Structure formats: structure tokens, C-alpha cells
Amino acid sequence: MANDILPYGRQWIDEDDIAAVVAALRSDYLTTGPTVARFEAALCDALGADHAVAVCNGTAALHAACAVAGLGPGDEVLVPALTFLATANCARYVGAEPVFVDVDPRSGLIDVEHAARMVGPQTRAIIPVHLNGRPVDLPAVRALADQHDLIVIEDAAHALGARAGDTRIGDCRYSDMAIFSFHPVKHVTTGEGGAITTAKPKLAAALEVFRSHGMVRDPEQLRGASPGPWYYEQHTLGYNYRLTDLQCALGLSQLTKLDRFLARRRALAARYDQLLATLAGVEPAAIGTADTLSAYHLYAVHVDFQASDRTRAQVVAGLRELGVLTQVHYIPVPTQPYYVDRGADPLAYPGATAYYESILSLPLFPAMRDEDVDRVVAALAQVLG
């Protein structure tokens, strides 16, 4: 294997990020303190959101959103068949049932027309996923939701900094809530972390309570008379989903570089687009439209493995030998044994199946050089023959 390894994704940590964490270590707060609120405010500024609630990871953000939306047993939630497990699992966490919706076989984005056909009397919510960083058709999702009185929760884990028309993903113009992830391979990182944005003050307040054991301390919310400043009450069943000041110090520093990181991702994607245009049997999956601006969390390509007379496993192994690491995003969720055991039909989603069978995520992260893209494309051409 080559000594110079290119992973499919990687964080970018500078000295000022390290200094921010060290300063937090020397402060009075290590867990939940004032830096959390500052990070939430900075996130609101970046996204044009009214409220942001930070939590310990993106999965916790999905769980919290489903919980405060009031979803529960007997409810159904429309979820793309092609996504990460957490998008479907969050419905199960609250006792609701995910109903899988097919996706476009080229973009991997939710098929809103198929979603409309899957709405039933128990359908309460829809969770569109901005796969790879490319925005979903949110006006169409909102129109469907309004027609059936559905809650819209955007899974924007891939889409920090994406835009659709005059809408910033996360401003919740077309949704009730949007969730984000700050895992190291995402646009900015807090190590592990997540957040929920919303334009609705009541949802924001409920999210704050949910992430902290269901406890309230605000005197105006207490049901009993407070005997002193130590007093709190548990009003709901919540979780310990809090994010720490240490993590938010890193997140604050990282957010100052978001525009630079996004610009670099888009420049790298444009170089991929240009070089791959001459490579037969390879087609980018996350190409934007005139009305959208992808955040390019991933640079995914469709590969005609059959034409190359190589399996995906052979291509992945060949690239690895050349020092290029790739990944597959994602295995269709209805094929997972857990959901098959619950009645999912793995063959019922031809769009998701077609997308999965040809997809491959190539290296993309801001620290990459132009020459790295050239190297990846040359390696892909060599392995494909």
C-alpha cells in the first residue's frame, strides 16, 4: 500500500482550535457552561436560525427532535430508504414506526412523489435527508406536509452551509426543525456533537429540557414553590444529551472557518467534476442545480462496475493499494436485518437499490490539495482499466 494515504474525510484542526480548547480547560467550566450558549448563538448566525440547541451528537439531535415533536407509539414517520441508520432509528427511539420512501436513483434524495403515496392515517412526520450536502426540494416537502399536517424534521447532518434559493439549510423556513452533526468528517467539528435548529420558541425550550434529564429550574416553570436556588423539577423523561464547554470551544473556533472550508470543498468538487468528465463509466452524484448550492460533505460518484469488469470490492481494494481510501454511503436501511424482521421489503425501493449498487464516496476534505484530486482520478482510471 502507498505510504501517503488519502482518507475519504478528515478534520482540519489549527493551532487556534487547540488554543481555544486549552483556554476552555483553564476556565471555570468544562461541561455545560457559557461557551455552549455562545456556540449556539454563533450557529444561529451562521444558519440564519432563530434558535439552536446543542447536543452530544447528531443521533441525539434526531432523537430529541422526534421526542419534542410528540411522536410516539402508533405514529408513522416517512424516512428515505437510502440514509444512515440514525434517520430511521430515531423514530423507533420514541416508539414510532419508520415508513421507508424511495429515493432518486441518481441523487439519492427523497422521492417526494413516492412519499405522497406512502402517507397513511398514522403518518405524523417526514424526515428528508440532504444527502451528500445537496439540498432536498424543501418547498415540495413542505407542500406535502401542509397537505397532510405533517411535522418536517430536516436531517441536515451533511448540509451545514448548503443553500436552496434564498434559504439557508437550517433556517427552518420550510421545516419545524433541522438537525446537524459535528463529527470529525463533517464541515466543522466539536469532536462529537450535534445541534437542532428551529424557528419555534416552544420547541427550542422543550429541546433544552429534553437534553438535560427533563429537568427545569426556571422559577416561572416550576409547579411547586422553590425552597432555594438548588431546587429543580423533572417534568418529562429526558436524557443526558448535553454538549460540553470544551467541545463548544472547539466548535466556536471551527465555525469562524466555515466559509473557507465550504469554499475549498466546492473548489475540490469542481475539480473532480472537470477531471471526471473524461472518465467513462463514472458520474458525480451530488451535482447541484441552478437553485441549490451543495455543502459537499461527500463527493460521491456512480461507477459502472459492470462495464469495467470489476466489482466494487475490487475497485475499493485497488484504490486502497494506491493509497486512496473510499467509502459507501449508504446501504439501504430496509435491507438491514432489524427492519426486515419488522416487515421491511428490501426489494421495494428500486431507486435506493440502484443508487447503492453503483455509489462510491471519494476523498473530500478541505486540507486536500488540487494535486490530491488529480491523484484520486488517476488512481480511479488505473483501477477501472
180 and 273 belong to one structural domain: no
Domain's final residue, options 229, 255, 281: 255
* Dist. CA 306–CA 358, nearest whole Å: 9
- Quick check: is 5 in a domain? no
Q: How confident is the model at residue 289 (pLDDT cuts 50, 70, 90)?
A: confident
User: Would you say residue 287 has pLDDT above 80?
Assistant: no
In this prediction, residue 286 has a pLDDT band, given cuts at 50, 70 and 90, of: confident
DSSP for residue 191:
S
- What CATH number is attached to the domain comprising 95? 3.40.640.10
User: Which is catalytic among the residues 186, 200, 202, 257?
Assistant: 186
For strands 97-101 and 51-55, give the pairing. Answer: unpaired
- One domain, residues 186 and 97: yes
Average pLDDT value over all residues in the chain: 96
CA–CA gap between residue 56 and residue 229 (Å, rounded): 27
CA neighbours within 13 Å on the CB side: how many for 304? 8
Pinpoint the alpha helices (H) of 256-327: 258-276, 305-308, 312-321
Shared domain for 108 and 231, answered yes or no, is: yes
Domain count along the chain: 2
111: pLDDT strictly greater than 90 = yes
Instruction: Looking at the structure, tell me whether residues 187 and 272 fall in a common domain.
Output: no
275 and 223: one domain? no
Same domain membership, residue 276 and residue 198: no
Percent of the chain predicted with pLDDT > 70: 99
In a domain, 372, yes or no: yes
Q: Which residues contact 189 (CB under 8 A, 6 or more apart)?
A: 11, 13, 182, 183, 250, 251, 254
Q: Do 222 and 282 reside in the same domain of the chain?
A: no
H and E: helices and strands count for the chain: 14, 15
Angle, to 10 degrees, between the axis of helix 85-93 and the axis of helix 58-68? 40
Q: Is residue 178 part of a domain?
A: yes
Task: Say yes or no: 262 and 217 in one domain.
Answer: no
Give the domain-ending residue among 255, 276, 305.
255
Distance from C-alpha of 180 to C-alpha of 172, rounded to nearest angstrom: 12
Q: Does the residue 6 lie in any domain?
A: no
The span from the CA of 145 to the CA of 228, in Å, is: 45
Residue 1 reports pLDDT greater than 70 = no
Please spell the DSSP secondary structure of 195-217, one letter per residue: EEEES-HHHHHHHHHHTBTTEE-
Q: Are residues 251 and 275 in the same domain?
A: no
The length of the chain in residues reads: 385
Last residue within a domain, chosen from 192, 222, 255:
255
Give the cell for residue 230.
Answer: 438548588
Are 205 and 312 members of one domain? no
Range of the domain at 125: 15-255
- 279 & 237 share domain: no
Task: Output the nine-digit C-alpha cell for 304.
Answer: 459502472
C-alpha angle 35-39-44 in degrees, rounded to nearest 5: 150
pLDDT of amino acid 60: 98
What phi, psi does 316 have (nearest 5°)?
A: -60, -45
Grid-cell match 461507477, residue found? 303
The pLDDT of residue 288 is above 90: no
In a domain, 53, yes or no: yes
Phi-psi region of 153 (alpha: psi -120 to 50; beta: other; left: phi over 0): beta
Residue 233 in domain: yes
Axis-axis angle for helices 370-384, 312-321 (nearest 10): 130
Q: What is the CATH number of the domain that holds 320?
A: 3.90.1150.10
Phi, psi dihedral angles at 373 (to 5 degrees): -65, -45
Average pLDDT over residues 100-125: 98
pLDDT tens digits, one per residue of 130-186:
999 999 999 999 999 999 999 999 999 999 999 998 899 999 999 999 999 999 999
Same domain, 190 and 230: yes
pLDDT in tens, 182-240: 999 999 999 999 999 999 999 999 999 999 999 999 998 999 999 999 999 999 999 99
* Grid cell 412523489 in the structure block, residue: 113
Position 89 in a domain: yes
3-state secondary structure of 292: strand
Structural domain contains residue 9? no
Q: How far apart are CA 254 and CA 43, in angstroms?
A: 11
What pairing do the DSSP bridges indicate for beta strands 76-80 and 123-126?
parallel
**Active site includes 186?**
yes
